[in-house]
Amino acid sequence: MHAYKFDLRISERGTITLPYPLPNLNGREVELFIVPKEDEPMPIKKASAKKFVARWAGFLKDTNIDPEKAKYEYLSEKYK
């Protein structure tokens, strides 16, 4: 069994045209797999360090929290 791969575009009417004839397949049943190509991803904008700090500064406002105490309280509630 042979497999054929074509990079094609489906027409506005919904038809697929093969780039060349395959006479050995005339009148035969075939399986057709359609795998849409992904659109080109948007380029990632790299922020400068200053913009990053300006955006995230003050995210954790309450610095008086003891992390060990917070972990203990969280785990105590979780495993009651």
Q: Which two tokens stand for residue 43?
A: 């380029």
pTM > 0.85: yes or no = no
From CA 13, how far away is CA 71, in angstroms rounded?
A: 61
Q: What is the pLDDT along the chain (80 residues), one digit of tens a residue?
A: 788 999 999 999 999 998 888 888 899 999 999 998 887 777 787 878 888 888 777 766 666 777 788 889 999 999 98
Question: What is the rounded end-to-end Cα distance, in angstroms, of the chain?
Answer: 62
